């Protein structure tokens, strides 16, 4: 997955208005990491020593299908869809923001900073 800081995205969008080429697209990705890496950062930033155990991909994907079936019956949105489960289990996805870096002066914040700033904002807004 790719994790980026919202501030970096906003700055790049504003820069695209001034520096970007009309009709061009820019990938505003961030740090390429595994979902488990993100979970470890969230645990570290939030002060939780306990990191959830990683379950096998086949079991995780099965849960996605089961939740999709259950949501069909209950008419409620599932927490995990089969598509999301497959995406979260992929190991071969990489995003390149090179074009945005070169043309828009896009800056990719470190993973720890992105997670910490998000956590601090969620706490400030009393969403955690």
For position 84, what pLDDT does the model report? 92
For position 94, what pLDDT does the model report? 81
17, 24 contact by CB (below 8 A): no
Range of the domain at 24: 1-34+94-128
Give the tens place of pLDDT for each residue, 71-92: 999 999 999 999 999 988 888 7
- The answer to the question of residue 103 being in a domain is yes
- The answer to the question of residue 119 being in a domain is yes
- The answer to the question of residue 60 being in a domain is no
63 pLDDT higher than 80:
yes
Q: What is the tally of structural domains in the chain?
A: 1
- The answer to the question of residue 40 being in a domain is no
108, 4 contact by CB (below 8 A): yes
Mean pLDDT of 84-103: 89
How far apart CA 41 and CA 121 sit, in angstroms, is: 16
What percent of the chain has a predicted confidence (pLDDT) above 90?
77
- The answer to the question of residue 69 being in a domain is no
The H or E element that residue 120 is part of is helix 111-124
Where residue 27 falls among pLDDT bands split at 50, 70, 90?
very high
């Amino acid at each position: 997955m790719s994790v980026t800081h919202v501030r970096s995205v906003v700055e790049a969008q504003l820069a695209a208005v001034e520096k970007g080429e009309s009709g061009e697209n820019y990938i505003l990705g961030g740090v390429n990491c595994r979902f488990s890496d993100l979970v470890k950062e969230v645990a570290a930033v939030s002060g939780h020593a306990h990191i959830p155990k990683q379950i096998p991909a086949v079991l995780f994907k099965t849960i996605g299908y089961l939740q999709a079936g259950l949501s069909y019956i209950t008419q409620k949105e599932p927490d995990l869809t089969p598509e999301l489960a497959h995406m979260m289990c992929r190991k071969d996805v990489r995003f390149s923001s090179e074009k945005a870096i070169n043309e828009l002066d896009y800056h990719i914040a470190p993973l720890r900073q992105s997670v910490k700033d998000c956590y601090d904002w969620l706490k400030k807004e009393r969403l955690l």
